[in-house]
Structure 1
Amino acid sequence: MVLRLVPTDFLTVQAAIDASSPGDSIHILAGKFDGFEVDVENLKIFGCGIGRTIIEGNPGFADNGILVNADRTTLQRFTVQGFEEDGIIVNSSHNVVKEIEMIFNGNDGISTTAIGNNNLIVDCVSSFNSTGFDWEGMHNCVIHCESSSNSFTGFPIFSDNNVLIKNIINNNDIGFGISSTFNTLLNNQIKKNGNLGIFITSNNMTIDNSICDNEGSGVFVINFENVVDSNIVRNNGTDMTDAGILVDSGATDNTIRFNKARNNVEFDIEAEPGAEPPNNTFDGNKCGNSSPPGLCT
């Protein structure tokens, strides 16, 4: 195992990667550096900290910042900013991305492609991009991250079996946009997004989240077999088309239970015509009003 220093031993991160073997480490010192592509497995690439080590886009030169094509890569402790498209693209599996800031990129702060599976993303921040965290890979886990002030969706998820725990998603257009199945949202804070807090389709679990102050509905449920359980849902919605928890007219076999919903517009919980019991289950929800009446206890 060899430790390589950039720019002391190599002027660029890419040159250090090209000279590396599996198991090596690359330490990027403070300063600004070009983007790079990781094609050697089991490398640890780490900087001196967010805002000190900066991987920066050069307009007209590089569309994407970092491409992770090799398995078991670790990226840690730097900023990725100013790329025309994505800050980081993960095309491989079993990687760790930790303590990384992705800001002011033209498309995604970080994305996993359809082959980007079984990755761990922890203690990262994605802000002022078009999209914060764009998920197309499966079996990924995102913990203690922040997705804020992105133009579109904080977390669009297009793949199955991902877990998102204790993240902060605020001031985006939509907080979570989940168009896939078997994902789990646990103990996240979804606040002050310009449209929906959470949009979910089928077979997802939304448990113990704080969903507050979103301009549209707090949770919008479509399709079937979702569980929305033990969430705090407050002060969401701005007009009569919104609700704290809104269940679409075509949605069936969903379970909405033990949520605490207050001060939402127009209703704390609303089941559109066709979504009322027995088509969906509403149980133990503490709320001020509902449509139809009787969905609160």
Structure 2
Amino acid sequence: MKKCHIAYLACTAALLGTGLGAAPPVAGHTVHVVRPGESIQKAVDAAQPGDTVLLTFGTYHESVQVNTPGLTLRGMGRATVIEPDPSVATSTATGTTSAGGRARKAANSCAADGNGICVVGTKDRIVKGVTVASLTVTGFTRTGVFSTATDGLTVRNVTAVKNGVWGIATERSVRGVFRHNTARDNGDAGLFLANTIKEEQGATDTGGTVVEHNRLEGNRIGVTVRRLRDLTVARNHLTGNCAAVFVVGDENKPKAGLVTVRENRIERNNKSCPKTARLAALQGSGIVLTGAEDSLVTRNVIKDNAGTSPLSGGIVLFKSFVGTTSDRNRITGNVLRNNSPADLINTDTGKGNTFEGNSCRESKPAGLC
């Protein structure tokens, strides 16, 4: 393994020194190096399964769509920046772009939909084993990094900042890993994970998707888990959002649930966000479970979240807005301080929810601490 790593570094160093567009194969795979002013999409389209597209420092003005299994798209850290092309206006309604006053078909649906990086499979062709890493994606009208129909997608060390809707979002996908990312000041959720975005259907099993060690700050919601099962949200730091963590279900079957939310640090999520067509105004929400079942919320530190929304408070169990109850959820071993209107709140009429071993001072109804 060490020899492979050394060979990879030597190959990359040689490539950067010579200015060639692709490195010799290492263990059967090729490194395609892209510099500012060159096309990322062209390198991605030329890559084979298992190849790496390596972006050097600098700013790139384009959207990138990945359909190749096993591909790694990697920058060199936060100073590798992907932004929209300012010379191209995108219409999500028509799927066309215009440049210099002339309309033309969008190069890919990623750009047409206002996204930065898209990893896109289909119902009949799931894209497996893609990695997006070590770069910044910012300023897109919809999502920084979006994925659909993927298996084993890894998004790590990505900074998603000031995108119009979501920082990083995924749907119809399984076994994802979202680790060591920063999502800040995005219009809706920093990290958004759903069964499907545009259709109504029951919760789907993610096969153990993991969201951990991320920093989520200044978004409407830090992490939203919508209509999913078998997923872990762990060891994240969430601050300055309107709400930190939402686990959301509805009347569809199967119900959302089997979600573990553990060992997160959740503090001062007191940004104020107005109501939307789907959700009440938000402020001061730590962890909210609504319409979810058989989930575990444990060993989180939740402090100084305060607001007057129906969803405000440290940990809140809330009967969903479509009337679906939360059932058999366990709230145990959490540390809660100075959350308002209370540290623990249960306004749900569901059955089998338990509150045990939490360190807190005030609950509604009384007696949960």
TM-score normalized by the length of structure 2: 0.69
1:153 partnered with 2:221: no
Partner of 1:188: 236
1:247 partnered with 2:317: yes
CA contact (8 A) 1:75 1:100 kept: no
Deviations 1:84-136 (A, max 9, x none): 5111111221122221111111111001112x210222111111112101011
1:287 partnered with 2:316: no
* Alpha-carbon offset, residue 5 of structure 1: 7.0
Partner of 2:129: 94
AA partner of residue 233 (structure 2) = L
Partner of 2:123: none
Partner of 1:13: none
1:234 partnered with 2:303: yes
Q: Distance in 1 between matches of 2:17 and 2:118?
A: 22
Partner of 2:49: 41
C-alpha spacing 1:229/1:93, structure 2 compared with 1 (3 Å): same
* Alpha-carbon offset, residue 211 of structure 1: 1.1
Q: Distance in 1 between matches of 2:148 and 2:131?
A: 15
Which of the residues 179, 201, 204 maps onto 1:143?
179
Q: Distance in 1 between matches of 2:136 and 2:148?
A: 19
* Alpha-carbon offset, residue 24 of structure 1: 1.7
AA partner of residue 154 (structure 2) = L
Deviations 1:9-65 (A, max 9, x none): 46xxxxx79xxxx72211123x3334416343222111223xx2x3213xxxxxxx1
Deviations 1:117-168 (A, max 9, x none): 1022211111111210101121010111111111111111014231011000
Partner of 1:76: 74
Q: Distance in 1 between matches of 2:140 and 2:269?
A: 24
CA contact (8 A) 2:335 2:358 kept: yes
CA-atom RMSD in angstroms: 2.3
* Alpha-carbon offset, residue 237 of structure 1: 2.6
C-alpha spacing 1:82/1:248, structure 2 compared with 1 (3 Å): same
Partner of 1:67: 65
CA contact (8 A) 2:179 2:214 kept: yes
Deviations 1:215-266 (A, max 9, x none): 3311111221111000011111311621111101321100000011111110
Partner of 2:259: 204
Q: Distance in 1 between matches of 2:306 and 2:192?
A: 21
Q: Distance in 2 between matches of 1:151 and 1:7?
A: 42
* Alpha-carbon offset, residue 207 of structure 1: 0.4
Which has a greater percent of helix? Answer: 2
1:170 partnered with 2:206: no
Which of structure 1's runs of 4+ aligned residues deviate more than 2 A? 1-10, 31-35, 37-40
Q: Distance in 1 between matches of 2:128 and 2:236?
A: 24
Q: Distance in 2 between matches of 1:286 and 1:177?
A: 25
Unaligned 5+ segments in structure 1 are: 11-15, 58-64
Unaligned 5+ segments in structure 2 are: 1-7, 91-113, 121-126, 196-205, 249-256, 271-282, 320-324
Q: Distance in 2 between matches of 1:118 and 1:69?
A: 14
* Alpha-carbon offset, residue 6 of structure 1: 12
5 Å-filtered alignment, 1:2-41, equals: 8-9=19-20, 23-29=29-35, 31-36=36-41, 38-39=44-45, 40-41=48-49
CA contact (8 A) 2:187 2:219 kept: yes
State the identity %.
21
For 1:162, what is the secondary structure of its paired residue? strand
AA partner of residue 357 (structure 2) = G
CA contact (8 A) 1:5 1:28 kept: no
Partner of 2:345: 270
For 2:307, what is the secondary structure of its paired residue? coil
AA partner of residue 238 (structure 1) = G
